[in-house]
A and B are shown apart, each in its own frame.
Chain A
Amino acid sequence: MSDTVRITNGSGVAAVLAAGVGSAALGVLAFAGDKSAAMKAMLNWYTPTGALSGVTTAAIIVWLVVWVLLELAWKGKTVAVGRLTTVALILLLVGFLLTFPPIVDLI
């Protein structure tokens, strides 16, 4: 292994932050579908699976679009890795909490 840094962190941070955004999007959409009948109907993209189809597909679209945009913006660049990965982990936690029924029921 070489001891010199060869690759800038932009691409990796883009992937991590996009995963955080996708996770939070999943939580927010699941929460919205649980709290709003209109939203639940809007997220019913495939009737046998119900709103879960829209929640997960929309979250995956958000994740991939954000990932591509961040990759295009940050590839080959050095970004503030500490701050951005912290944001990504907070978004992941938000996603987890917003899918947990006892938390959803409290809000």
Chain B
Amino acid sequence: MEITTRALWTLIHGMGFGELYLLACSGALVELYRFLFPGRVAEVGPGSEQFLRVYLISMAVVAWGAVLTGAYVVYPWYRAAAPAGTVDLAMYPQKLLMAHTSTSGWHSLGMEWKEHVAWFAPISITMAAFVFLRYGADLKHHKQLRAAVMTFVVASFLSAGAAGFFGAMINKYAPVEGGATIHLMQGEAK
């Protein structure tokens, strides 16, 4: 069993940061709702405020990790220019997608949107983390402010979801390949 370094970085970007962020988003929305709308659901415990502070900061770190590894590690491999006359485009995912009308949309719509929309997530969650750190429990007194923060958190979830969906599909049709091979374990002989 082995994996290439480029595939490993893609894994770190997509599964390590991207999917973790999406999973964390659902938890953040529930926790924020529980915390900011007391009375509608069961009362939150005394440690909830501190927990949510750490949780939101961690989410911001994960969101920045996702976009930075995507833009500066994986994306350059994805958009690498193929030398003139290259027939096998396996090492040039963007060119591979664009070479066929049946897959070109994954780049022209998918990647063109994904590469930008993903950045709404770290901007939004960083703002939400800051506001929660600044206001904490007092945020329950600021109805319009907390509604705006919740809307930005939902927007970050949607943008990360769109980026994650297109990232997974693009990697299915034109995976980023190459680099050194890392041997993970020896398989059994047939």
Contacts and interface: CB of A to CB of B under 8 A. Distances in A.
Contact of A52 (B75, B134, B139, B155): B75
Chain B's interface: helix, strand, loop or mixed, by majority? helix
B2 interface: no
Interface in B128-153: 130-131, 134-135, 137-142, 144-145, 147-149, 151-152
Given A16-B145, A52-B71, 12 more contacts: A2-B138, A4-B141, A5-B141, A9-B145, A12-B135, A15-B131, A16-B131, A16-B152, A53-B71, A56-B116, A60-B123, A82-B144
Chain A interface extent, by class: 35 or more
The 5 closest A-B pairs by CB, nearest first: A48-B76, A85-B148, A99-B116, A19-B127, A5-B141
Nearest to A89: B151
Contact of A88 (B115, B135, B141, B148): B148
B145 A19 contact: no
Interface in A83-105: 85, 88-89, 92, 95-96, 99-102
Interface string B107-133: 011001101110110011011001100
Contact of B155 (A6, A59, A96, A101): A96
Interface of A: 1-7, 9, 11-13, 15-16, 18-19, 22-23, 26-27, 30, 34, 46, 48-50, 52-53, 55-56, 59-60, 63, 81-82, 85, 88-89, 92, 95-96, 99-102
A96 B117 contact: yes
Contacts, number: 106
B27 interface: no
Contacts of B38: 1
B96 interface: no
A56 B119 contact: yes
Contact of A16 (B75, B119, B141, B149): B149
B131 A92 contact: no
Nearest to A29: B116
A16 B146 CA distance: 10
A56 B131 contact: no
A95 B152 CA distance: 12
A97 to B, nearest CB: 11
